[in-house]
Amino acid sequence: MVLYAPPLILGRRAPVLIGTPTKATQNAGGSPTLALPTGWAVGDLLMCLCTIANGTNGTSMTAPTGWSTLYNMVPGGNLRRAGCFYKVADGSEVSMRPTSGNASEWSLIGLAIRGVREIPEVSAMVAATTAAPDPAAVSPSWGNKRAMFIAAVHTLHNSAVPVSALPAGYGNLTMCNNTGTAKGTVSFGNRIARTASEDPAAFTMVSSAVCVPATIALR
């Protein structure tokens, strides 16, 4: 399936990252509101990376109204949810607003990405306690073509800067670290590559923590 994009965007060689707002909330109820990235435009792919952490079992996570779910998993323990939602901007958007079944600590990163023409794809995801979360490989359905790859990690962590280094070859480190009780975080970096299978190296954390890494492919 091909996403909508204006003709000028279709001519780009690879997607372009436009903006990355972040927001952390403590016990904000079920619906935190994250501002849209600065500079977004109709036809851009909007994405929201979300971590929910708290001490209450059974916390749910739901995509913003009208958005699609790339992944929404239950890692275990106080790392209640790791999710990614996306939507092609049509001009009706006013914010990014996922929902939860109860008051939660949220860590959110929004992205606006220009020039995406295919449905986003994601690697397998496995939770582990580690200081070197290693995103699994993703082999996009479009094959050996130039694309943007995002290495993301959802985690619980007490450090103010939990990720000390991105996987080799990745840049634009962006983190949202919640300083509440459960201390959930989400971080990512990205790179452009032409490859039929992208297998990032590991993140480097300042110490071991429960982590869920992922590799996202965008073209």
Given a cut of 50, is residue 101 above it in pLDDT? yes
Distance CA 44, CA 22 (A): 18
Span 112-162, pLDDT tens digits? 999 999 999 999 999 999 999 999 999 999 999 999 999 999 998 888 889
Beta-bridged to residue 217, according to DSSP, are 121, 149
Residue 184 near residue 154 (C-beta atoms within 8 A): yes
Span 5-61, pLDDT tens digits? 443 344 457 999 999 999 998 765 678 899 999 999 999 999 999 999 887 666 789
Question: Measuring CA to CA, which residue among 217, 173, 171 is closest to residue 197?
Answer: 217
Given a cut of 70, is residue 1 above it in pLDDT? no
Q: H helices of the chain, where?
A: 7-10
Residues 90, 21, 114, CA angle at the centre, nearest 5°? Answer: 40
What are the φ/ψ torsions at residue 157 (nearest 5 degrees)? -160, 140
Given a cut of 50, is residue 4 above it in pLDDT? no
Residue 108 pLDDT grade (very low, low, confident, very high; cuts 50, 70, 90): very high
What are the φ/ψ torsions at residue 91 (nearest 5 degrees)? 100, -10
Residue 76 pLDDT grade (very low, low, confident, very high; cuts 50, 70, 90): confident
Distance CA 96, CA 116 (A): 19
State percent of the chain over pLDDT 90. 75
